[in-house]
Structure 1
Amino acid sequence: MDIYAILQILIATFAATSAMTLFSYAVSASFRELYKEPVLLTFLLKQLKIDVSDKGKATLAWILHYFIGFIFVYTYHILWVNHILSLSLLNAFLLGSICGIIGIAGWMILFKLADYKPHIDFKGYYIQLFFAHIIFGIVAALFYYLTLTIILIAKSNVTI
């Protein structure tokens, strides 16, 4: 994997995870519920009694959130470059839906393992989480395609 592919994956990760997070924050505000993944991750980390300050746990939660986004986008990259799936909006929707199901299952497991029961509407949280991941998949594909186009143009116009 060259530096361009790494940069492409990082840009798509940042854009997709940020878009998903903004969606979750907007839904959280609209419904006056706690649907903010980084905040919930911070609470989970507090339950695990890790010897880190509260600010450190909040920072770690944000890093984990973006790292999980990176893993999803890297998986998309593998599927796209190996022609297992084409880079299309339909497949982005499909990948986002699959990641939404994975995300819901992951949160269910995390809440169970940490014995943490936040005072939230779980059904509402999981529904918004599913749609947040669809947004993630679509934004990841759009930014991946956009950066791919820019990289191809840059490579064709730059000689070393």
Structure 2
Amino acid sequence: MDFYTLIQILVSSIAATSAMTLFSYAVSATARELYKEPVLLSYILSHLHLEVLPSVKNILAWILHYIIGLGFIIVYHFLWDYNILELTWPIGILLGAISGIIGIITWYVLFKIVPQKPNIDFKGYYLQLFAAHIIFGFIAFEVYILF
């Protein structure tokens, strides 16, 4: 992988993850619910008895959130680069929807693992998570083609 491709993947990842996170924060504020992925990741880490300072746990949650976004973009890149899927905006949205389903399943499992569930509207959270990932896929495509 050359430097140019690495930058393309990193910038796409940061932009897409940031866009979906902003969407989640906006929906969270509008619905007056906790739909913020980094906050919920920090909650999960707390209940997995991770022995670090709370501030470190919050930073770790944000880093994990962006690393997961990077993982999705790496998969998108290989699907596009090897012409497995076309590099089009509908495919970007489709990849976002698939990522959303993966995200919902992952969060469902994480919430089952922790002994104390967060006090959130799970149905609302999963719906906004799906929509957030569609935004993620679309922004990933748009930024990716800029390069």
Please state which band the TM-score falls in when normalised by the shorter chain.
over 0.9
Spell out the pairing of 1:73-84 with structure 2 (5 A cutoff). Answer: 73-84=73-84
Once the two structures are superposed, residues 27-70 of structure 1 have per-residue CA deviations (whole angstroms, 9 ceiling, x without a partner) of 00000000000000001111011111000000000000000000
- Cα contact 1:100–1:129 (8 A) shared by 2: yes
Partner of 2:44: 44
Q: CA deviation at 1:20?
A: 0.1
| Residues paired across the two proteins, number | 147
Spell out the pairing of 1:20-31 with structure 2 (5 A cutoff). Answer: 20-31=20-31
Partner of 2:126: 126
**Gaps spanning 5+ residues in structure 2: where?**
none
- Cα contact 1:47–1:114 (8 A) shared by 2: yes
Give the counterpart letter for 2:59 in structure 1. T
Give the counterpart letter for 2:37 in structure 1. E
Percent of aligned pairs with the same amino acid: 59
Give the counterpart letter for 1:58 in structure 2. N
Partner of 1:18: 18
User: What TM-score results when the alignment is normalised by the length of structure 2?
Assistant: 0.99
Q: CA RMSD in A?
A: 0.6
- Cα contact 1:13–1:66 (8 A) shared by 2: yes
Partner of 2:92: 92
- Determine the C-alpha separation between the residues in 1 that align with 2:34 and 2:12: 26
Q: In structure 2, do the counterparts of structure 1 residues 51 and 82 end up closer, same or farther at CA, with 3 Å as the change threshold?
A: same
Give the counterpart letter for 2:64 in structure 1. L
- Determine the C-alpha separation between the residues in 1 that align with 2:69 and 2:28: 20
Which structure has the larger Rg over C-alpha atoms?
1
Partner of 1:157: none
